[in-house]
Chains A and B, each alone.
Chain A
Amino acid sequence: MKNFLKRFYLIIILLFLYLPIVTLIVLSFNNTKTMGVWKGFTLKWYQEMFSNPQVLNAFCNTLFIALIAAVVSTVVGTVACVGIMALSKRQKNTVLQLTNIPLLNADIVTAVALLLAFGMFGISLSLGTVVFAHITFCLPYVILNVLPKLRQTGTIHFEAAQDLGATPVYAFLHIVLPDIMPGVFSGFLLAFTMSLDDFIITYFTRGAGINTISTLVYSQVKVGIRPTIFALSTVIFVIVLIVLLISNFLPEKVEKAKEKAEKEGRELTPEQRRKRRTAKKVGYGVIAAAVAAVCILASPYVGAMAGKGEVIYFYNYGDYIDPDLISAFEAETGISVVMDTFDTNESMYPIIEGGQVSYDLVVAGDYTVEKMIENKLLQQINYDNIPNAANLEPSYMEILARSDPGNQYMIPYAWGTVGILYNKTMIPEGRITSWKDLWDPELAEYGILMMDSLRDTFMVAEKILGYDMNTKDPEELQKVVELLIVQQPLVQAYENDTARDDLITESAGLGMIYSGEYLYCLDENENLDYVIPEEGTNVWFDCFVIPANAKNKEGAEKFINFLLDAEAGLATFDYLTYPTPNAATMQLIEEDIREDENVFPSQETLDLCDMYHYLGKEGDLILASYWKRFRGN
């Protein structure tokens, strides 16, 4: 009974540890990208995994970084352990304390410390900075594994070998190393694991276009994760499982034969002895083969990285461009497009301002562009390289000229409004008319979603209170925060792009959303409808801009030109489902969609709306402090 309870307890713990893993594996076969619904078995995510360059790239990056970090830290760490043995007690203590720091330090502190240090020495972020950071935090794991083994081995075999004529290096390699090999090996494995599993440090130290699986997941979580990444993780997990099982348990099995023989006081047969040796060799061999396979897998990619030729580093919202257009552009021009993604203007801006990462082309919201212009972070666009700019709707260009006189810096990519998406089966049609409905306790039971985006979230309260959506008056903002705090208990979650998944799966009944999501959501769940509240809303333009530190301005302009083509604009519209500023494209859009006021609002609706503007440095600080006041509540 007691034993049964113990076993039961262990099983519960294991279930707890492995439940999410099983979930992910199951989801990788799910025939929809919406989580939480089973829509049948499919292998399409596995197929997509091999065709999606972003995923493959992240996969190769992850393995490349983990491999280099693990190898370097294993070599440096093992060698260091030999040196540490020679140190005096006090020196040894100091070194070991320093070794403990990365181990005990919070990842986020380690990460920002490294980021700041790179910044201070003017080192721009790249793959190299990530690898360096990983080596730094992997080293303690190697030292922790190797040093005790080395202590246990002691000096005696090393001395004996030298006494018999071996040089110190020969003695170390042939006598000490085989002895401490299990330690070195588990150090390597742990370093590799830690590097592979890291997110925070990579997130803060990576350069343009460097995505690992972790950072890719992080950026995807905000825009709706694609099961491709579940498929990839499943593949990695299964491969590692197999490799480790073979390398661990094959020698162990043979080792058991030895122990048994010893217990029975008899010698191993030569057959068994040979087996034992081969098993050990096979164990390490499997690992070595796996490592080699990774190298071979990654090598063409590393080679490609080195000799890639012309590249555009493109910084965009997540899931905000049709991947086929990128491929088409790459095929047409031979220029590779490396894309990083962000989820809000607010999280993009510090990256550009910091200057440690340089992009050639950025998609930014109108008010952020104003801020970038003011802070001289942009360079003027050369319209000679963009003949397709003629396709742009002149009235929009006029509106944008208010923010950017002469349209020198920004070229519109898409535009839209912010409104409320709701589920008609829960809430009667026509019931939602006002932003105030998001404060309605009766509707809270269906699940209300708010955006987690400073300007948009504030805008809703400002509209209800009848304030200007560009206010920076502390008294008004205080009222705004108070109103939002009142709403907090009613809100199911504050989220941006993932809101659409919750609405599609009917985990939530209504929520704030960008107008472009409407068509996509309707496709997935026809019960959904979109409303622009009667108080009016924000109209926004997402624009192409070229940062001042761009290295390939001409390439970026070529790419803009490519995307402004009427057909490309249509592909963009089909993919994003956001209104297009491209007049030529408009002609190609089906009429019923063109006349859907939810997608292309009428002029009367637009008259109710306004645009955000940059409020100056001091305005930003005021907004940020009130935002924190709201979020920290």
Chain B
Amino acid sequence: MSNILELQHVSKKFDNDLVLDDLCLEVKENTFMTLLGPSGCGKTTTLRIIGGFITPDQGRVLFEGKDITNLPPNKRQLNTVFQKYALFPHMTVGENIAFGLKISGKSDEYIRDKIKYALKLVNMDDYANRDVTMLSGGQQQRIAIARAIVNEPKVLLLDEPLGALDLKLRQDMQYELIRLKNELGITFIYVTHDQEEALTMSDTVVVMNQGYIQQMGTPENIYNEPENAFVATFIGDSNILGGIMLRDKLVRILGVDFPCVDTGFGENKPVDVVIRPEDVILGEAGKGQMDGVVSHLIFKGVHYEMEVQAGGFEWLVQSTSMFPVGQPVSLSVDPFNIQIMNKPESEDEEAVVVDV
């Protein structure tokens, strides 16, 4: 698969505020790529640079190998689904969808067919003559998508399109989007701050913070092997602890030695350790690797969430079995579930952690 889109060394400042710093990104054809990060991380700026609404201060944007850095948005073979839909309020559903087609001078017949096809695609068959302002949020969202895809873009940009919908609708739309992507066979670049959305839909997740790409990979890869503390905290819940790598495959945390599977960190090196809450196994006191006392308990439906005081640290633990508050318990962790990370060295990386 070749790169359909490429960002090369892109930087952007707003009023002396560096939003993107030397960003490089390659997007393969026919993938669902998600830019994930907290607000202000530069993900929307990246999307807008791709869309042509912002010109980068430095760097180039390549589309199918051609430089489009200075091409205005109306000349790009991309379409965007905007955060708040941006449907034109003075036009009907049909007129909204026809807008781009009319500009490119398509015949009336073609436009009519396209509107029909697009509405069918988003399951809103009979809505062509409706007033857009009278539609619900989910319906408006579908129309916004329909309006974008009738133009047959090679890349569809989606800027937090589900942000304004309620939970149930959001989950439905996630499946809908995956289906659409597979039917259309085009590249989706999706921006969100919702990690669950990113993990559910994407082929590739790009985690961003402070204008840098923190990690890029498959959802599994990002979740299971976060490369730094920021990614670890941002994706799912984590226990992040300071530790010392005594030697290969053995790390000391809170004065207790835990066997692990990581190698190559050297001996007696300070490191960060990530342990996911569902990976902490609770048991009868004295029967695990260390002992502690349950301090909080919440029922979450699928599982219980507990906080356990052990070794002077408050562990977050998720378990299907319940231990009441005040009960002494033991903690243990499978060596495969201990993720070792280098301590941050540069100040920038430090800042990343502090900010979270």
Which residues of A pack against B, CB within 8 Å? 88, 156-157, 159-168, 170-171, 175, 178-179, 262, 267-268, 270, 273
Of the stretches B21-29, B34-42, B78-86, B230-238, the one at the interface is B78-86
> B65 an interface residue at 8 Å Cβ cutoff?
no
In the bound complex, residues from chain B placing their C-beta under 8 Å from that of A160 are 80, 82, 86-88
> B314 an interface residue at 8 Å Cβ cutoff?
no
For B103, the closest partner residue in chain A by CB is A165
For A178, the closest partner residue in chain B by CB is B90
Q: Given the complex of chains A and B, what is the CA–CA distance between A171 and B72 in angstroms?
A: 13
In the bound complex, residues from chain B placing their C-beta under 8 Å from that of A167 are 72, 74
Name 10 A/B residue pairs within 8 A (Cβ), A-sorted. A88-B15, A160-B82, A160-B86, A163-B51, A163-B78, A163-B79, A165-B74, A165-B103, A166-B74, A267-B130
In contact, B151 and A159 (Cβ under 8 angstroms): no
In contact, A162 and B86 (Cβ under 8 angstroms): no
In contact, A164 and B100 (Cβ under 8 angstroms): yes
List 16 additional A-B contacts (Cβ < 8 Å) besides A167-B74, A168-B72: A156-B83, A159-B73, A160-B80, A162-B72, A163-B51, A163-B148, A164-B148, A165-B104, A165-B151, A166-B99, A166-B103, A167-B72, A171-B74, A178-B90, A262-B134, A273-B131
Looking at the assembled complex, report how far the CB atom of B45 sits from the nearest CB atom of chain A, in whole angstroms: 14
Looking at the assembled complex, report how far the CB atom of A87 sits from the nearest CB atom of chain B, in whole angstroms: 12
In the bound complex, residues from chain A placing their C-beta under 8 Å from that of B53 are 159, 162
For A277, the closest partner residue in chain B by CB is B90
In contact, B86 and A159 (Cβ under 8 angstroms): yes
Looking at the assembled complex, report how far the CB atom of B160 sits from the nearest CB atom of chain A, in whole angstroms: 13
Q: Given the complex of chains A and B, what is the CA–CA distance between A515 and B321 in angstroms?
A: 116
In the bound complex, residues from chain B placing their C-beta under 8 Å from that of A273 are 131
In contact, A175 and B88 (Cβ under 8 angstroms): yes
In contact, A164 and B134 (Cβ under 8 angstroms): no
The main secondary structure of chain A at its interface with chain B is helix
In the bound complex, residues from chain B placing their C-beta under 8 Å from that of A262 are 134
In contact, A157 and B134 (Cβ under 8 angstroms): no
Q: Given the complex of chains A and B, what is the CA–CA distance between A178 and B95 in angstroms?
A: 14
* A164 partner, pick from B79, B83, B89, B131, beta carbons under 8 A: B79
Instruction: Name B49-83 residues within 8 Å CB distance of A.
Output: 51-53, 72-74, 78-80, 82-83
> B129 an interface residue at 8 Å Cβ cutoff?
yes
Q: Given the complex of chains A and B, what is the CA–CA distance between A170 and B75 in angstroms?
A: 13
Instruction: Name B300-314 residues within 8 Å CB distance of A.
Output: none
Given A88-B15, A179-B89, A179-B90; A164-B151 close (CB under 8 Å):
yes
* B86 partner, pick from A156, A166, A168, A268, beta carbons under 8 A: A156
Q: Given the complex of chains A and B, what is the CA–CA distance between A171 and B86 in angstroms?
A: 13
* B131 partner, pick from A88, A163, A268, beta carbons under 8 A: A268
In the bound complex, residues from chain A placing their C-beta under 8 Å from that of B72 are 162, 167-168
For B105, the closest partner residue in chain A by CB is A165
Given A156-B82, A159-B86; A164-B130 close (CB under 8 Å):
no
In contact, B99 and A267 (Cβ under 8 angstroms): no
In contact, B90 and A164 (Cβ under 8 angstroms): no
In the bound complex, residues from chain A placing their C-beta under 8 Å from that of B78 are 163
* B80 partner, pick from A163, A175, A270, beta carbons under 8 A: A163
* B100 partner, pick from A165, A168, A178, beta carbons under 8 A: A165
Q: Given the complex of chains A and B, what is the CA–CA distance between A166 and B101 in angstroms?
A: 10
Looking at the assembled complex, report how far the CB atom of B224 sits from the nearest CB atom of chain A, in whole angstroms: 36
Given A164-B99, A165-B100, A267-B130; A156-B84 close (CB under 8 Å):
yes
In contact, A163 and B74 (Cβ under 8 angstroms): yes
For A273, the closest partner residue in chain B by CB is B131
Looking at the assembled complex, report how far the CB atom of B311 sits from the nearest CB atom of chain A, in whole angstroms: 51
Instruction: Name B181-220 residues within 8 Å CB distance of A.
Output: none
> B12 an interface residue at 8 Å Cβ cutoff?
no
Q: Given the complex of chains A and B, what is the CA–CA distance between A159 and B134 in angstroms?
A: 22
In the bound complex, residues from chain B placing their C-beta under 8 Å from that of A267 are 130-131, 134
In the bound complex, residues from chain B placing their C-beta under 8 Å from that of A164 are 74, 79, 99-100, 103, 147-148, 151
Most chain A Cβ neighbours within 10 Å, of B51, B74, B78, B79: B74
Q: Given the complex of chains A and B, what is the CA–CA distance between A165 and B88 in angstroms?
A: 15
In contact, A157 and B74 (Cβ under 8 angstroms): no
Q: Given the complex of chains A and B, what is the CA–CA distance between A163 and B80 in angstroms?
A: 6
Q: Given the complex of chains A and B, what is the CA–CA distance between A171 and B75 in angstroms?
A: 13
Looking at the assembled complex, report how far the CB atom of A503 sits from the nearest CB atom of chain B, in whole angstroms: 63
In the bound complex, residues from chain B placing their C-beta under 8 Å from that of A175 are 88
In contact, B73 and A163 (Cβ under 8 angstroms): yes
User: 1/0 contact trace for B101-137 toward A, CB 8 Å?
Assistant: 0011000000000000000000000000111001000
Looking at the assembled complex, report how far the CB atom of B37 sits from the nearest CB atom of chain A, in whole angstroms: 21
Looking at the assembled complex, report how far the CB atom of A569 sits from the nearest CB atom of chain B, in whole angstroms: 69
Q: Given the complex of chains A and B, what is the CA–CA distance between A151 and B78 in angstroms?
A: 27
Q: Given the complex of chains A and B, what is the CA–CA distance between A156 and B84 in angstroms?
A: 8
In the bound complex, residues from chain B placing their C-beta under 8 Å from that of A157 are 86, 88
In the bound complex, residues from chain A placing their C-beta under 8 Å from that of B90 are 178-179
- Nearest first, the 9 A-B pairs at minimum CB distance are A164-B100, A160-B86, A162-B73, A156-B86, A165-B103, A163-B80, A162-B74, A178-B90, A165-B74
Looking at the assembled complex, report how far the CB atom of B95 sits from the nearest CB atom of chain A, in whole angstroms: 11
Q: Given the complex of chains A and B, what is the CA–CA distance between A159 and B51 in angstroms?
A: 9
Looking at the assembled complex, report how far the CB atom of B164 sits from the nearest CB atom of chain A, in whole angstroms: 13
In the bound complex, residues from chain B placing their C-beta under 8 Å from that of A171 are 74
Q: Given the complex of chains A and B, what is the CA–CA distance between A165 and B102 in angstroms?
A: 10
In the bound complex, residues from chain B placing their C-beta under 8 Å from that of A168 are 72, 74
In the bound complex, residues from chain B placing their C-beta under 8 Å from that of A268 are 131
Looking at the assembled complex, report how far the CB atom of B321 sits from the nearest CB atom of chain A, in whole angstroms: 49
Looking at the assembled complex, report how far the CB atom of A329 sits from the nearest CB atom of chain B, in whole angstroms: 58
Q: Given the complex of chains A and B, what is the CA–CA distance between A160 and B132 in angstroms?
A: 15
Looking at the assembled complex, report how far the CB atom of B341 sits from the nearest CB atom of chain A, in whole angstroms: 39
In the bound complex, residues from chain A placing their C-beta under 8 Å from that of B87 are 160
Q: Given the complex of chains A and B, what is the CA–CA distance between A274 and B131 in angstroms?
A: 12
In the bound complex, residues from chain B placing their C-beta under 8 Å from that of A88 are 15
Q: Given the complex of chains A and B, what is the CA–CA distance between A623 and B78 in angstroms?
A: 81
Q: Given the complex of chains A and B, what is the CA–CA distance between A45 and B147 in angstroms?
A: 62
Q: Given the complex of chains A and B, what is the CA–CA distance between A371 and B225 in angstroms?
A: 100
Looking at the assembled complex, report how far the CB atom of B176 sits from the nearest CB atom of chain A, in whole angstroms: 21
Q: Given the complex of chains A and B, what is the CA–CA distance between A179 and B90 in angstroms?
A: 8
Q: Given the complex of chains A and B, what is the CA–CA distance between A164 and B89 in angstroms?
A: 16
Q: Given the complex of chains A and B, what is the CA–CA distance between A178 and B134 in angstroms?
A: 18
Q: Given the complex of chains A and B, what is the CA–CA distance between A171 and B129 in angstroms?
A: 22
Q: Given the complex of chains A and B, what is the CA–CA distance between A182 and B151 in angstroms?
A: 31
For B15, the closest partner residue in chain A by CB is A88
Looking at the assembled complex, report how far the CB atom of B2 sits from the nearest CB atom of chain A, in whole angstroms: 24
In contact, A159 and B130 (Cβ under 8 angstroms): no
Q: Given the complex of chains A and B, what is the CA–CA distance between A262 and B134 in angstroms?
A: 8
Looking at the assembled complex, report how far the CB atom of A112 sits from the nearest CB atom of chain B, in whole angstroms: 41
